[in-house]
């Protein structure tokens, strides 16, 4: 039995953080959480999670900026990142996807969809 | 003119279905939301509800929320058994039509054609692409940039218009008179020799690609790939 893959969830809204954490745990992941972007970057560097769920609208720095910093860490340059946000402007979505996001989920999210995306990113289908 | 549709799906089965059901359409396939958004969508789009990077429903609501894309015709296709709730939610999110996959091909085709017809000739016609790609040549009419094999090529405004005119009329012989009217737009004062000189300049700037602009003796020019 291998260790459960780690997932990092960064969101400043406690309710969403709790729901996302429960969904990720249900997908078979060990969950790490951070309420702020900078804390998230720090945790990511220390723990090298298998994937990251990142809120875009965080109070300290934006999720996009956090993603850029995470990408700059060599061990995390290819870690799947899924952005989630309540603001669903076209330019933001385009920007997020351009950053190489593994996905973009708009809040309030569909739990089944989020779980499916987590599973797809953490347990990629064998080729 | 041919009806056109962008198809956003990563499913080979959906792709095969769309090719058959929409035979005669000008189709463009995009495997993800990211690829679709990058192509600056226009006209009609058929969107798979489960895309690798986003749900189709989220994509539809994002497109509806932006004035550049709010007037797109959006058709969502879902998978699994038909669910009235999923269909209603898709329409509430702004989709014009919703089908569970695979839809009945004739019904699907007819609904799409009706949507296009109601939207008017602008939407039904093949849209002008944001960027033309011909082998190694890329030309963006909006940004007014040209590159061959990834290398940016600098053209004067007139040379750019000339190249764009050729691309939009490829396979047709265009006379010097037509070029003077359509590209120079100042009547025939410039004279046919001015056309020849400009085309020579354009050819040399395009490098090997310049040979695609052929001289048709006694008639004018022909751009053909």
Residue B10 and residue B111 in one domain: yes
The beta-carbon neighbor of B62 closest among A93, A103, A113 is A93
Those of residues 38-77 in B touching chain A at CB distance below 8 A are 38, 50, 52-55, 58-59, 61-63, 65-66, 68-69
Whether residues B78 and B116 fall in one domain: yes
pLDDT interval class at A126 (50, 70, 90): low
Q: Give every CB contact of residue B103 below 8 A, 6+ residues apart in sequence.
A: B21, B77
Cα separation, A90 vs B220, whole angstroms? 45
Q: Does A127 touch chain B (CB under 8 A)?
A: no
Mean pLDDT over residues A28-46, rounded? Answer: 97
State the DSSP code for B186: B
Tens digits of per-residue pLDDT, A70-112? 999 999 999 999 998 887 788 889 888 888 788 999 888 888 8
> Do B108 and B152 have their domain in common?
no
A34/A11 Cα distance (integer angstroms): 7
**Do B74 and B136 share a domain, yes or no?**
no
- Cα angle B44, B46, B52; round to 5: 130
Work out how many domains chain B is built from and give that number: 2
Is A89 at the interface with chain B, CB within 8 A?
yes
Confidence of residue B42 (pLDDT cuts 50, 70, 90): confident
- For chain A, the average pLDDT equals 91
For β-strands B137-140 and B145-148, DSSP reports them as antiparallel
- Residue B137 sits in the same domain as residue B202: yes
**Closest by Cβ to B34, choosing from A91, A97, A113:** A97
**Contacts with A88 from chain B: Cβ below 8 Å:** 58, 61-62, 65
Residue A127 predicted with pLDDT over 70: no
* Same-domain pairing of B154 and B89: no
Q: B72, B100, B124 — which closes off a domain?
A: B124
Please compute the mean of the pLDDT values over residues B214-218 and round it to a whole number.
84
Please measure the distance between the N-terminal and C-terminal CA atoms of chain A and give it in whole angstroms: 21
Its domain, for residue B139, covers 132-223
Among the candidates B124, B147, B162, a domain finishes at B124
Q: Taking CB atoms and an 8 Å cut-off, how many pairs form between chains A and B?
A: 51
CATH code, domain with B82: 3.40.50.2300
Decide which of A126 and B91 is more confident.
Answer: B91
Helix, strand, or coil (residue B5) = strand
pLDDT in tens, B192-207: 888 888 899 999 988 8
Using alpha carbons, list the distances in angstroms from residue B130 to A20, B40, B41, B71: 38, 7, 8, 17
CA angle at B113 for the pair B107 and B115, rounded to the nearest 5°: 100
At A87, list the tokens.
């603001």
Find residues 17-36 of chain B whose CB sits inside 8 Å of chain A.
32-34
Task: Say what the pLDDT of residue B126 is.
Answer: 42
Burial of A59-81, coded b for 16+ CB within 10 Å and e otherwise, reads: eeebbbbbbebbeeeeebeebbb
* DSSP letter for each residue of B49-94: SB-SSSBHHHHHHHHHTSTTTTT-EEEEEE-SS--HHHHHHHHHTT
Instruction: Give yes or no: residues B143 and B165 share one domain.
Output: yes
Cα–Cα nearest to A31, from A17, A45, A46:
A17
Q: What residues form DSSP beta bridges with B209?
A: none
Percent of chain B with pLDDT over 70: 94
Same domain, B8 and B68: yes
Q: Taking Cα atoms as reference points, which of A61, A71, A60 lies closest to residue A99?
A: A71
* Structural domains of chain A, ranges and CATH numbers in brackets: 6-108 (3.40.50.2300)
Number of H helices, E strands in chain A: 5, 5
Most confident of A69-73, B76-80, B133-137: A69-73
Mean pLDDT score of chain B: 86
- Sequence-separated contacts (24+) of B158-165 with Cβ below 8 Å: B158/B183, B158/B184, B158/B198, B159/B198, B159/B201, B159/B202, B159/B205, B162/B198, B162/B199, B162/B202, B163/B139, B163/B202, B163/B206, B164/B139
Is the pLDDT confidence value at B127 over 50? no
Looking at residue A79, its pLDDT comes to: 94
Supply the CATH number for residue B170's domain: 1.10.10.10
Contact, A7 vs A53, CB < 8 A? yes
Please give the order of strands across the beta sheet that includes B145-148: B132-134, B137-140, B145-148, B151-153
3-class state of residue B213 by DSSP: strand
Residues B146 and B90 in one domain: no
pLDDT at B15 over 90: yes
**Which of B27, B122, B34 has its CA nearest to residue B71?**
B122
pLDDT at B124: 41
CA atoms within 13 A on the CB side of B195: 24
Report yes or no: B126 and B4 within 8 Å, Cβ to Cβ: yes
Q: Which residue has the tokens 């040549």?
A: B137
Does residue B166 share a domain with residue B95? no
- What is the rounded distance in angstroms from the CA atom of residue A76 to the CA atom of residue B71? 39
Residues in chain B within 8 Å Cβ distance of A89: 62, 65-66
Share of chain A above pLDDT 70, in %: 95
Among candidate residues B108, B124, B140, the one where a domain is terminated: B124
CB A93 within 8 A of CB B61: no
- The answer to whether residues B88 and B160 belong to one domain is no
Is A98 an interface residue toward B (CB < 8 Å)? yes
């Amino acid at each position: 039995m291998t260790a459960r893959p780690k997932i990092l969830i960064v969101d400043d809204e406690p309710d969403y953080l709790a729901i996302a954490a429960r969904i990720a745990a249900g997908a078979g992941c060990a969950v790490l959480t951070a309420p702020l972007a900078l804390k998230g970057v720090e945790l990511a560097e220390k723990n090298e999670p298998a994937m990251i769920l990142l809120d875009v609208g965080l109070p300290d720095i934006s999720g996009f900026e956090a993603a850029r910093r995470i990408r700059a860490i060599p061990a995390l340059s290819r870690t799947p990142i899924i952005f989630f946000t309540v603001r669903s402007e076209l330019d933001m979505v385009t920007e997020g996807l351009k950053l190489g996001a593994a996905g973009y989920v708009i809040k309030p999210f569909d739990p089944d969809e989020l779980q499916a995306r987590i599973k797809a990113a953490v347990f990629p289908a064998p080729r | 003119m041919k009806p056109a549709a962008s198809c956003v799906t990563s499913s080979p089965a959906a792709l095969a279905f769309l090719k058959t059901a929409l035979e005669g359409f000008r189709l463009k396939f995009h495997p993800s939301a990211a690829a679709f958004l990058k192509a600056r969508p226009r006209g009609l789009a058929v969107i798979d509800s489960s895309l690798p990077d986003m749900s189709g429903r989220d994509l539809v609501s994002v497109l509806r929320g932006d004035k550049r894309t709010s007037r797109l015709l959006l058709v969502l296709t879902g998978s699994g058994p038909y669910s009235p709730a999923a269909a209603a939610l898709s329409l509430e999110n702004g989709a014009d039509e919703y089908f569970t996959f695979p839809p009945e091909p004739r019904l699907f085709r007819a609904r799409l054609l009706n949507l296009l017809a109601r939207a008017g000739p602008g939407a039904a016609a093949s849209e002008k692409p944001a960027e033309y790609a011909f082998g190694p040549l890329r030309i963006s009419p909006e940004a007014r940039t040209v590159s061959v094999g990834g290398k940016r090529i600098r053209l004067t405004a007139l040379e750019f218009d000339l190249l764009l005119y050729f691309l939009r009329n490829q396979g047709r012989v265009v006379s010097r008179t037509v070029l003077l009217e359509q590209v120079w737009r100042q009547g025939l004062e410039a004279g046919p020799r001015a056309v020849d000189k400009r085309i020579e300049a354009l050819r040399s700037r395009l490098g090997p690609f310049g040979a695609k602009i052929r001289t048709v003796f006694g008639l004018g020019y022909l751009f053909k790939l």
